[in-house]
Amino acid sequence: MSGLPADRLSSSPPFTHVGVDIFGPWIVTARRTRGGHAQSKRWAAMFTCLSTRAVHIEVLETMTTASFINSLRRFTAIRGPIKTLRSDRGTNFIGACKELNIDTQDPDLQIHLHNSKCTWIFNPPHSSHMGGAWERMIGIARRILDALLLKPSTTHLTHEVLTTLMAEVTAIMNSRPLVPVSSDPEAPAVLTPSMLLTQKADILPAPEGDFDVNNLSIKHWKRVQSLADTFWRRWRQEYLATLQPRKKWRTDRRNLQVGDVVLLKDSQATRSEWPTGLIVKTVPSQDNRIRKVEVRVVKKGTPKVYLRPISEVILLFPKDNL
Q: What is the pLDDT of residues 167-181, one digit of tens each?
A: 988 988 888 877 665
Q: DSSP secondary-structure letter at 153?
A: G
Q: What is the pLDDT of residue 266?
A: 77
What is the rounded (10 degree) CA torsion for 131, 137, 140, 142?
-90
pLDDT at 184 over 80: no
Q: How far apart are CA 217 and CA 211, in angstroms?
A: 11
- Give the model's confidence band at 55: pLDDT under 50 very low, under 70 low, under 90 confident, else very high: very high
Q: Tell how strand 36-49 and strand 17-33 pair up.
A: antiparallel
Phi first, then psi: give them for residue 44, nearest 5 degrees.
-140, 140
Q: Return all residues near 302 (Cβ < 8 A) that are at least 6 apart.
A: none
Average pLDDT value for residue range 286-304: 85
48: β partners: 19, 55
121: β partners: 86
Of the candidates 211, 204, 245, the one whose C-alpha atom is nearest the C-alpha of residue 231 is: 211
- Give the model's confidence band at 208: pLDDT under 50 very low, under 70 low, under 90 confident, else very high: low
Q: How far apart are CA 40 and CA 63, in angstroms?
A: 11
Q: What is the pLDDT of residue 280?
A: 92
Weakest mean pLDDT among 7-16, 144-153, 242-251, 306-315: 242-251
Q: What is the pLDDT of residue 58?
A: 92
Q: Return all residues near 199 (Cβ < 8 A) that are at least 6 apart.
A: none
pLDDT at 257 over 70: yes
Q: What is the pLDDT of residue 1?
A: 46
Of the candidates 174, 175, 163, 176, the one whose C-alpha atom is nearest the C-alpha of residue 227 is: 163
CATH topology of domain 6-243: Nucleotidyltransferase; domain 5 (3.30.420)
Q: What is the pLDDT of residue 241?
A: 58
Mean pLDDT of the chain: 76
More confident residue, 211 or 222: 222
Q: Tell how strand 261-264 and strand 276-284 pair up.
A: antiparallel
Q: What is the pLDDT of residue 216?
A: 43
More confident residue, 129 or 190: 190
Q: How far apart are CA 231 and CA 167, in angstroms?
A: 12
Q: DSSP secondary-structure letter at 288?
A: S
Count, residues in the chain = 322
CB 225 within 8 A of CB 213: no
Q: What is the pLDDT of residue 270?
A: 65
pLDDT at 281 over 60: yes
Q: DSSP secondary-structure letter at 64?
A: S
Domain with CATH 3.30.420.10 in the chain: 6-243
Would the pTM count as exceeding 0.85?
Answer: no
Weakest mean pLDDT among 39-43, 72-76, 230-234, 260-264: 230-234
